[in-house]
Amino acid sequence: MATQLEVQDLQSIKTASEVAHLFGSLGYALVAQPVEVAGLELPAQLSDRLQSAYVLAEYHQGYSRQLVLLFEVNPGSMGLGVLMHKLARRLAQRPESYVLLATVDGYRSLHITNSVGAKSVYSFKINCQDPSYQELNWIRNLGLWGESLQDSQKHQHQMAKYAANQQKEAGQVVHQDLQDSLGSYLREIGRYPLLTQAEEVTLFRQMSVFAGSYQAVQAQKTLLTHNLRLVVSIAKRYQGQGLDLLDLIQEGNLGLMRAIEKFDYAIGTRLSTYATWWIRQTIKRALDNQSRLIRLPNHVWEKIRLLKKVAHQLSQELGRTPAIEEMALASNLAPDEIRQLLDWSRGTGFLDAPLFSHEEVSLLDSLQDQSVAPAKIWEEMDLQSRIQKALSLLKPKEQQVLILRFGLWGNEPHSLAEIGRLLGLSRERVRQIEKKGLLKLRSNLCKKV
């Protein structure tokens, strides 16, 4: 089996054909052909979520056959992991064996599912934009091993189980059955008690002093696992808005990891106070990007697919990005309708692949300016970092008062009396601390100006 697979091979993936060639390098026979979703004879609950399907590669040995399938998936209320597990169980009734891949974000990530029968199904996720070497090794291990297909399938399944467990330990929720997985996950994280502030400081110091070492990694992991319950409590508030709870938790965990990376323990506040804002922002962004199109009727999705097909056909004929007016003539859609379809498709990843293999600009970028909404989110995140730096100039008590007073980092604004009760101070003393802290901030700002 050839295993000359590098990080850049994953980073360059933009199309189904490129994923197919990746499996060709792993010992499979290349197929790289689209298949009709209707031909898979799936229940409507599953087939309605599938934009398109491909047979990427295959392997024959005697009467045994393994197929690698890829699905481009519409956003939906059913989590991607749950969807893929249902697909795996459905396909397990057929004589062939399968490795299933799915993307919901334009190949920025791949969700990979492997099963032995209908009961033993494991999934893991690969970040194609920034893959770790561990993820790269998991992909390599999907290749063909040994002399028999059965040996390869056994090896693949063991690897998928290991990868799923690794991501679960890292706080990345991998779906099995929705309710069973949720209950198992909640029981697992319930074993980790909340840390004291002193314990947090010790762990952050270890991350700083031993940066890059095993000890630093373990300290970071401890901070993560002992704060996972915070993510769950926040994620529950966003249920019913388009993503299931496990997906919300997974997005929130990404926010928690980002908060741990950026937190300055020297300011004297708790990690949970700072992390709340990051967790909320990543969940809100996921809801915006992944579930905003859930209620679009099927005929709108058909027009978006037509738009993608026409754009690629015209780009090959013209050797450049087609104008919206040219696409209107070729598709019998009005220019304004095309602009509306482009706007609806933003954030789904469906039009994010580039028109030309040598370019990095996506189809959506080529036809229409990107929404400013993501930029605004990152501007807000940058503002939070600047606020944190400003507060670091103050004494711990001044920081606490201002954070509570102005509702920073996801906290609700508090009255002077409420802050006094929380900190064991009189209302007047809280007012004095607030005034002194604000004067320091203004004085520092004037010096910089």
Half-sphere exposure of 210 (CA within 13 A, CB side): 14
The pLDDT of residue 53: 92
Domains of the chain from N-terminus onward: 7-168 (no CATH), 177-295 (1.20.120.1810), 299-373 (no CATH), 393-449 (1.10.10.10)
Are 304 and 350 in contact, with CB atoms under 8 Å apart? yes
**Would you write out the chain's pLDDT as a tens digit for each of its 449 residues?**
444 567 778 888 888 888 988 888 888 888 889 988 888 888 887 888 888 899 998 887 776 788 899 999 877 656 777 788 888 888 877 777 888 999 887 888 888 887 765 556 777 888 888 777 677 777 877 776 545 666 666 666 666 776 666 666 555 544 444 455 567 677 778 888 888 888 989 999 988 888 878 888 888 888 988 998 899 999 988 887 667 777 788 888 888 988 888 888 887 788 888 889 889 888 887 777 654 544 556 677 778 778 878 887 888 888 777 888 888 888 888 888 888 777 766 555 555 544 444 444 455 555 544 333 444 444 555 556 667 777 777 888 888 888 888 877 666 788 888 888 878 888 889 989 988 888 887 776 655 54
Distance of alpha carbon 31 from its chain centroid, rounded?
Answer: 29
Are the beta carbons of 114 and 99 closer than 8 angstroms?
A: yes
pLDDT at 230: 92
Counted residue by residue, the chain has a size of 449
pLDDT on residue 129:
81
Q: Given this model, what pLDDT does residue 101 score? A: 92
Note the pLDDT of residue 93. 75
Instruction: Return the closest-CA partner of residue 52 out of 36, 39, 68.
Output: 36
pTM of the complete model: 0.42
CA distance 386 to 234: 24
Residue type, 93: Q
127, two tokens: 């970040």
- β partners of residue 122: 114
Q: How far apart are CA 132 and CA 261, in angstroms?
A: 17
What is the pLDDT, as a whole number, of residue 376? 46
**What residues contact 329, with CB distance under 8 A and at least 6 apart?**
none
The pLDDT, as a whole number, for residue 61 is 73
Contact (CB, 8 A) for 103 and 109: yes
Closest CA to 142 of 28, 8, 9, 7: 28
- Residue 56 has a pLDDT of 92
Cα–Cα distance, 246 to 123 (Å, whole number) = 14
Q: Count Cα atoms within 13 angstroms, Cβ side, for 211.
A: 3
Rounded Cα distance between 29 and 273, Å, is 53
Which candidate, 54, 134, 128, places its Cα nearest to that of 98?
Answer: 54
Angle, helices 335-345 vs 324-331, to 10°: value is 100
Tokens of 79: 């989590």
